[in-house]
A and B are shown apart, each in its own frame.
Chain A
Amino acid sequence: MLETIWFLLWGVLWAVYFMLDGFDLGLGTLMPVVAKTDTERRLVYHVMGPFWDGNEVWLITAGGVTFAAFPTTYATMFSGLYSALMLILFALIVRGVSFAFRDEVNSPRWKCVWDTCLVVGSFLPALLLGVAFANIFHGLPIDKDGIYQGTLFTLLNPYGLAGGILFVLLFLVHGALWLAVKTSGDLHDRAAKLLPKLWAVLLVMAVIFLLATRRATFLYDNYLANPALFLILAVTVAALVMIRIYIAKGSWWRAWFASCVTIVGTTLFGVVGLYPKLLPSSIDPAFSLTAFNSSSSPLTLKIMLAVALTFVPIVIAYQAWVHHVFRHKSGEEDLEHEEGY
């Protein structure tokens, strides 16, 4: 029971991470397309500024919880996906510092370096996290000792890449919606103009991914065994459709919330399909790491549950408050040094 609760919490933490960091990873990737002038680029940074770091801590927590609740899975996943994780890490490093460094020197060349870091540092994690999760859904070559027997290129199979592209598109839509919510004027208009196209591509990719999932993974087994679970998929698809409806109405906040639901739903669709496996083995299902054979002791799970149930709501409360404090649209007048790095 404890293991099942933690399995779900593990999935929820990743889902929340993708939902939150998703908008700044997407917007960072999108920056060269929507922002034409230096002022516009500064605005793009500005609408992510108060949030990106708090968002990224969800990744650290998701990683930490994997370590704490499922140490054997953490060990196999992080050592097995070594090169992919290192790439994500370096990308997050250059992205993170670009926020603090970019406007410290007033030279176009300097800014261009950090803008490039932001774009690459946003795109790569989005892509690779998608590749990693699709490969987890698909199963990894894990032997009987829980050791990964593939390479970085094992991950770059068609289904893995489809997952990567799906994540990038989900985040692009999410980021474009954030920009539409947070700005007015040219930036807003460009995001608004781009969104229907991005959404259409996302829809196509989502359909391809769902069909490919049928062929490449066992995820649907849980759903067929318990059809009520299809509700998750139904909500996710409905939310995806609602994004388009709200875009058409110009209700940007609502469209962004629908996008949140879509991202959380997509993650949970995979996680629920995986249950109870955390890392399915493609060599032999018996070698799979599950919530039961890779978890921590019941005492640790209980203590961690108490900590999580007490403090995660507090974190959510103060992060929501921060969103409330910085709920305004950003304009040029906000770019003076009183509000920013």
Chain B
Amino acid sequence: MDVLMLSRLQFAVATFFHFIFVPLTLGLSILIAIMETKFVRTGDEEYRRLAKFWGKIFIINFAVGVVTGITLEFQFGTNWSRYSRYVGDIFGSILAIEATLAFFLESTFLAVWIFGWKRLSPKLHCLAIWLVAFAANLSALWILMANAWMQHPVGYTLRNGRAELTDFLAVVTQPLGFQIYFHTLSGAYILAGFFVMGVSAYHLLRKQHVAFFTKSLRMGLAFALIFSLAEVVQGHIHGAEVAKIQPSKLAAMEALWDTQANAPQTLFLIPDEKNERNLVEFGKIPGALSMLAYHSTGATVKGLKDIPKEERPPVALTFIAFRVMVGLGFFFALVTVIAWLKRNKLADSPRLLKLFLYSIPLPYIALQAGWIVTEVGRQPWIVWGLMKTKDAVSPIAASQVGVSLAAFIVAYSLLGATAFYLIAKHVRRGPEPVRGEG
């Protein structure tokens, strides 16, 4: 394999692994902050124990998220130096701002929260976790604004052989950026909601710590319900934005080969990239794709055949990832609505509790699939329309990248297994005993 392919694989490994751990921290920090706020307001000791129980899971996730996040920042320079030189003026500054504004805040106050239970007043201690939650979500905003710029570069001019900033506000307030932000954030909140529901269900199924986990189950459910429903609506708006900005991504998402008005939505198909067609197609809803993408059944949707071969993203992967994401998205909405209707009988319905427990991995899959749609669907561009991925890679030896990629796979597998083991161990052990009972 050449440097390009190895570097792409390494970036994919690093990003995917990072993105297993970070999404949970985005939503869980807010849930923990709400729990601790309830403790401060009511003095109900159970909420303090809730915050501590979920806090431990947060800490393990955060630790892995931090150390794998440094990899991502370093990698732009180590493996994508031509890209870094080309976009540093804009992309680099957004990353630097993220560290200065958000990551300092999150790291510093998480330590305050962890070590400060006895050193700070309850109110100040609660403020610390709110700052962590705020900073985590602010951090995501900057990172996704940087990503949005790769999807849709704005506010720049080509000068001195690179993209130079001309309009900072245009870069950090572009609508696509907010679409990506709310889409990713809702996904992360769904994940956190389902995680909390699933873990709570584990104990409720065993009839242990019932009052404790009923509380967190309801909080997780409320969170998952709100954002599952929001995601369905927002996902549609986001898709329409992508249709406008990145027609080749849309065509790959839908495996649409021929440009056509009144484009159908096909419920099931198998794309055949080599022969530029689909092998099996059934369940065509005429005009549905035109409607979804452009809000008019008569609208023309561009097909892949009208996009030069060298500018098409990998179709099968983008298509499958998109179907997985959307399918799971509807599943989350369905499950949470049903669960909400039965919210007062959840503790006594083992079927639903089991469903929650086994659903824990699903939002993880949905988020990774979403990331594939965004990033693989952007190919062959690293910066849409400006720079191709193959022109972005560092002039380094393939052997160097081969060694580091192998090391990443080994180290991350061990790290992932360890984190999973520790979280599972903590979950099984359950909450700490009530104070005074030792």
Contacts and interface: CB of A to CB of B under 8 A. Distances in A.
B396 to A, nearest CB: 6
A79 B394 contact: yes
A105 B422 CA distance: 8
B351 interface: no
Interface stretch (A153-161, A219-227, A241-249, A318-326): A318-326
A89 B71 CA distance: 7
B146 to A, nearest CB: 11
A304 B96 contact: yes
A89 B93 contact: no
B96 A67 contact: yes
B89 A296 contact: yes
A101 B114 contact: no
A64 B118 contact: no
Given A67-B84, A79-B79, A89-B74, A54 B118 contact: no
Contacts of B111: 49-51, 53-54, 322
Interface string B93-121: 10111111101110111111011111110
B278 interface: no
Given A82-B78, A338-B117, A300 B396 contact: no
A230 interface: no
Contacts, number: 221
B71 A93 contact: yes
Interface string A305-341: 0011001100100110010011000000000011111
A25 interface: no
A79 to B, nearest CB: 4
Interface stretch (B35-43, B159-167, B261-269, B314-322): B159-167
Contacts of B395: 79, 147
A72 B67 contact: no
A322 B404 CA distance: 36
Contacts of B100: 61, 64, 307-308, 311-312, 315
Interface stretch (B58-66, B181-189, B380-388): B58-66
B73 interface: yes
Nearest to B118: A338
B355 interface: no
A237 interface: no
B92 A76 contact: no
B273 to A, nearest CB: 33
B81 interface: yes
B5 interface: no
B302 interface: no
B420 interface: no
B425 A104 contact: yes
A118 interface: no
Interface in A292-307: 296-297, 299-300, 303-304, 307
Contact of B92 (A67, A85, A308, A315): A67
Interface string A49-72: 111011011011101110111111
Interface in A182-204: none
Interface in B40-95: 59-60, 62-64, 66-71, 73-74, 76-79, 81-82, 84-85, 87-93, 95
A251 interface: no
Q: Is the interface of B mostly helix, strand, loop or mixed?
A: helix
Contacts of A70: 88
Contacts of A65: 96
B415 interface: yes
A256 interface: no
Interface in A26-60: 49-51, 53-54, 56-57, 59-60
Given A49-B115, A64-B92, A297 B165 contact: yes
A156 B233 CA distance: 57
A78 B101 contact: no
Contact of B415 (A68, A93, A297, A340): A93
A4 interface: no
A39 B71 CA distance: 33
B331 interface: no
Q: Is the interface of A mostly helix, strand, loop or mixed?
A: helix
Contacts of B394: 75, 79, 82
B95 A89 contact: no
B93 to A, nearest CB: 4
Nearest to B63: A100
B344 interface: no
B296 interface: no
Given A67-B77, A83-B400, A307 B97 contact: yes
B400 A60 contact: no
B349 interface: no
Contacts of B400: 82-83
Interface in A94-139: 94, 96-97, 99-101, 104-105
A199 to B, nearest CB: 30
A72 B165 contact: no
Contact of A297 (B73, B84, B117, B164): B164
A239 B425 CA distance: 49
B81 A79 contact: yes
A292 B125 CA distance: 46
Contact of A93 (B67, B103, B118): B67
A74 interface: yes
Given A68-B88, A338-B117, A339-B118, A60 B159 contact: no
B88 A72 contact: yes
Contact of B78 (A79, A93, A99): A79
B199 to A, nearest CB: 17
14 contacts: A57-B108, A64-B92, A67-B91, A70-B88, A75-B88, A79-B81, A86-B407, A104-B60, A315-B100, A318-B109, A319-B108, A339-B119, A340-B115, A341-B114
The 6 closest A-B pairs by CB, nearest first: A71-B88, A78-B77, A67-B92, A64-B96, A75-B81, A100-B63
Interface of A: 49-51, 53-54, 56-57, 59-61, 63-65, 67-72, 74-79, 82-83, 85-86, 89-90, 92-94, 96-97, 99-101, 104-105, 147, 296-297, 299-300, 303-304, 307-308, 311-312, 315, 318-319, 322, 325-326, 337-341
Given A68-B97, A311-B100, A339-B118, 9 more contacts: A72-B88, A77-B77, A79-B77, A82-B394, A85-B78, A104-B426, A299-B168, A307-B96, A307-B97
